[in-house]
């Protein structure tokens, strides 16, 4: 019909994030060609992503690639890609727990998993981290149900609940819960906790950076001096965590923490990494809750001793998020409730490779 490249695609909201879902078989196996297509589809290289379907915000510039399981004990593979907005960069180093919420319904409706009457448990292998996450969702008569009474802060309305259980999330990137070898380090005269649990992060007390931690996301994003200081700490944390130069990576994610003031356990401002999240990443919440229940961390210093099993409520700019911590077979597990919604399906159009060469 035209000179663009059509690719089957489903746009889905997962948790507080949104982005296109692709079957791995519909994308090139060559990583460079795959990433070129993703950059074209999302419209990266422009702050509004005006020439693509990205939303001009890190939480809406995400991609999920779903394939049959490649490891024992899993039902599907899930490769997450954070597509940068104004740069031609596709980062597949982190996981995304919000997009993860939409993986199970997508997999069932794509025919990769057979739904069972009542509820279906889908074991998702996150290719980025090598970890398994369980997703349980409502499937009356074996069909995905999106409508329900559950609600999550950061998303309007109600939907069917999707229960995510992160199994053995420690060391998702570095192989260690505390990659520096200790729960507390000092960077730039600031006490920090470098933790790798579901997501590599560097946690620091907001007051140590001269802010309260209760500011709006917009207010923090407008504080150029604060962002520069946070980035300096993040880059040094990357080296201390054995991740090398993380300038072009989105991890470790910086997190400002402060005492809760809305009845929760801890208040946070989570960065992605150069912009404050409007709510909170699911993977970030898992790591933050784990830090808060681990002795010697900056988070534990704010809430005191908290043995597991327990439920922690983490406050964020849009409300709060509950994390249930427990143990299974001697390993710590973390559970969180999310919702998802299928928004549209069809084809998305990428520019052919020759178009990039002509433009160059």
**Percent of the chain topping pLDDT 70:** 98
Tens of pLDDT, residue by residue over 151-163, are 999 999 999 999 9
Which residues are bridge partners to 332 per DSSP? 327
Between CA 8 and CA 152 the distance in angstroms is: 29
pLDDT of residue 286: 97
Q: Can you read off the two tokens belonging to residue 203?
A: 């946690």
Confidence of residue 355 (pLDDT cuts 50, 70, 90): low
**Percent of the chain topping pLDDT 90:** 96
pLDDT of residue 1: 79
Strand pairing class (162-167; 331-338): antiparallel
Instruction: Name the pTM for this structure.
Output: 0.92
Mean pLDDT of 237-265: 97
| CB contact set of 151 (below 8 Å; sequence gap of 6+) | 157, 158, 159, 339
Tens of pLDDT, residue by residue over 183-212, are 999 999 999 999 999 999 999 999 999 999
Say whether pLDDT at 350 is over 80. Answer: yes
- Judge contact between 94 and 283, C-beta under 8 A: yes
- Judge contact between 239 and 233, C-beta under 8 A: no
Average pLDDT of the chain, as a whole number: 96
Say whether pLDDT at 359 is over 60. Answer: no
Confidence of residue 89 (pLDDT cuts 50, 70, 90): very high
Strand pairing class (118-126; 131-139): antiparallel
Handedness of CA 44, 49, 55, 58 (dihedral sign): positive
Tens of pLDDT, residue by residue over 311-327, are 999 999 999 999 999 99
Between CA 91 and CA 246 the distance in angstroms is: 11
Mean pLDDT of 95-117: 98
SS3 track for the chain: CCCCEEEEEEEEEECCEEEEEEEHHHCCCCHHHHHHHHHHHHCCCCCCCCCCCCCCCHHHCEEEEEEECCCCCCCEEEEEEEECCCCCCEECCCCCHHHHCCHHHHHHHCCCCCCCCEEEEEEEEECCCCEEEEEEEEEHHHCCCCCCCECCCCCCCCECCEEEEEECCECCCCCCCCCCCCCCEEECCEEEEEEEECEEEEEEEHHHHCCCCCCCHHHHHCCHHHHHHHHHHHHHHHHHCCCCCCCCCCCCEEEEEECCCCCCCEEEEEECCCCECCCCCHHHHHHHHHHHCCCCCHHHHHHCCCCCCEEEEEEECCEEEEEEEEEECCEEEEEEEECEEEEEEEEEEECCHHHHHHHC
Say whether pLDDT at 9 is over 90. Answer: yes
Confidence of residue 356 (pLDDT cuts 50, 70, 90): low
pLDDT of residue 360: 43
Strand pairing class (199-205; 90-91): unpaired
Class of residue 101 by CB neighbours under 10 A (exposed 0-12, middle 13-18, buried 19+):
buried
Tens of pLDDT, residue by residue over 18-56, are 999 999 999 999 999 999 999 999 999 999 999 999 999
């Amino acid at each position: 019909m035209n000179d663009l490249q059509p690719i089957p695609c489903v746009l889905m909201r997962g948790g507080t994030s949104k982005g296109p879902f692709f079957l791995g078989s519909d994308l090139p196996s060559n990583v460079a060609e795959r990433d070129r297509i993703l950059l074209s589809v999302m419209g990266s290289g422009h702050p509004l992503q005006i020439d693509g379907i990205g939303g001009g915000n890190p939480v809406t510039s995400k991609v999920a690639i779903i394939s049959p399981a490649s490891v024992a004990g899993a039902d599907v593979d899930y490769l997450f890609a954070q597509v940068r907005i104004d740069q031609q960069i596709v980062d597949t180093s982190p996981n995304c727990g919000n997009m993860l919420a939409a993986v199970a319904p997508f997999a069932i409706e794509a025919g990769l998993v057979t739904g069972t009457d009542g509820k279906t448990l889908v074991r998702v292998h996150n290719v980025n981290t090598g970890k398994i996450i369980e997703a349980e969702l409502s499937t009356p008569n074996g069909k995905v149900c999106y409508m329900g009474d559950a609600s999550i802060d950061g998303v309007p309305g109600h939907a069917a609940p999707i229960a995510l259980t992160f199994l053995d999330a420690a060391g998702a990137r570095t192989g260690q819960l505390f990659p520096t070898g200790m729960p507390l380090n000092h960077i730039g005269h600031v006490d920090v906790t470098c933790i790798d649990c579901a997501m590599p992060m560097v946690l620091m007390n907001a007051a140590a950076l001269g802010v309260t931690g209760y500011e709006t996301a917009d207010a923090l994003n407008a504080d150029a001096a604060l962002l520069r200081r946070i980035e300096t700490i993040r880059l040094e944390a990357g080296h201390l965590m054995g991740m090398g130069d993380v300038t072009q990576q989105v991890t470790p994610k910086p997190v400002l923490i402060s005492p809760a003031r809305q009845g929760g356990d801890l208040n946070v401002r989570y960065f992605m990494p150069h912009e404050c999240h409007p709510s909170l990443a699911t993977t970030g919440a898992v790591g933050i809750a784990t830090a808060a229940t681990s002795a010697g961390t900056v988070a534990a210093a704010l809430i005191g001793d908290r043995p597991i099993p327990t439920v922690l409520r983490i406050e964020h700019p849009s409300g709060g998020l509950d994390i249930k911590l427990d143990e299974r077979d001697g390993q710590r597990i973390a559970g969180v409730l999310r919702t998802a919604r299928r928004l549209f399906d069809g084809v998305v159009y990428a520019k052919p490779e020759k178009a990039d060469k002509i433009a160059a």
